[in-house]
Amino acid sequence: MGYSFTDPRLLTRALTRLAYAGEQGFGPAAHMDALATLGDAVIDVVVIQSLVAVGEHDKGLITTKKTNCVNMTVLRRLAEQMSVEDYVYWGKGEEAQAVWRSGRVLAECMEALIGAVYLDGGIGAASQVLETIGLRCEI
């Protein structure tokens, strides 16, 4: 990702699935779900900000371009390129079923990572990570 966490607990949380946290008896703040929701919003902001910065001002076109640029397929591909599934703490059932083969699961993991980067380093860090991992939008 090209990012070093100041608070490595955020990285661990971003890689911890709810099922694993439950199996381990971890508390409610130990899994990735909230970070995935945050990361989804951060990715949208970064993409929209970049579209506006290059001169796009039509609301409909911004929305269309953002939707084409950031979707489950794109986020899954980025996660696969980084082999994110090798670093995630999966629940026993998830691991047995290899749930990461589902597009949405790896996309959520990518969102959680970006959410963690945002909390650790802010919007600039999140933007830099997205650029580093290869998120490209057709402008």
So which residues are the catalytic ones?
40, 111
- Are residues 77 and 104 in contact, defined by beta-carbon separation less than 8 angstroms? no
Contacts of 110 (CB under 8 A, 6+ apart): 39, 75, 76, 78, 79, 84
CA angle 14, 81, 35 (to 5 degrees): 15
